[in-house]
């Protein structure tokens, strides 16, 4: 079953696309939790990290180089930013099309709230 992200990649659903090439698409999150909140997704419909294969390594690397490029464009290179990939139910994944969150534009604090610690 296709996800909303596939429809965004194919131009069939609206989104503010900030980057697209043969391997990945990046667009603004519809419900941002930071001044900069961009999702970087593979054009290929891979549900989660659990389904990535060795043949996907070029695409996975592209996700990082595109994250760096967008971070620079957004003025985050010096300030810093956070990349998050949620996986599965307990990982908090909501959309089952692999994606990397690029977050920045404010101090993001510790990686996880203390209430999530052991
Ligand atoms: P997850 O929890 O799966 O890692 O994150 C999914 C993200 O997708 C959430 O931050 C959510 O706001 C975003 N999202 C869900 N539906 C849409 C949509 O239709 N358009 C956009 N641009 N982002 C979406």
Residue 117 reports pLDDT greater than 90: no
Percent of the chain at pLDDT above 90?
A: 90
Give the per-residue pLDDT at 7.
98
4 CA: nearest ligand 1 atom: 19
Dihedral (CA of 65, 66, 72, 76) sign? negative
Please give the distance, rounded to the nearest whole angstrom, from the Cα atom of residue 29 to the centre of ligand 1.
6
Domain count of the fold of the chain: 1
**pTM for this one?**
0.96
Residue nearest to atom 24 of ligand 1 (CA): 30
CATH number of the CATH domain containing 61 = 3.30.428.10
∠ Cα 42 88 105 (to 5°): 60
User: Which stretches does DSSP call E strand in 1-118?
Assistant: 17-20, 24-28, 36-42, 81-84, 100-104
Q: Which domain holds residue 78?
A: 4-116
Give the per-residue pLDDT at 112.
79
């Amino acid at each position: 079953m296709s996800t909303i992200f596939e429809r965004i990649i194919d131009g069939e659903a609206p989104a503010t696309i900030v980057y697209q090439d043969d391997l990945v698409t990046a667009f603004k999150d519809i419900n941002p939790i930071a001044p900069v909140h961009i999702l970087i997704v593979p054009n290929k419909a891979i549900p989660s990290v659990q389904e990535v294969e060795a043949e996907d390594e070029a695409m996975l690397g592209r996700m990082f180089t595109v994250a760096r490029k967008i971070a620079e464009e957004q003025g985050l290179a010096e300030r810093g930013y956070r990349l998050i990939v949620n996986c599965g139910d307990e990982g908090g994944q909501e959309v089952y099309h692999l994606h990397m969150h690029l977050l920045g534009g404010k101090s993001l604090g510790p990686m996880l709230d203390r209430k999530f610690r052991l």
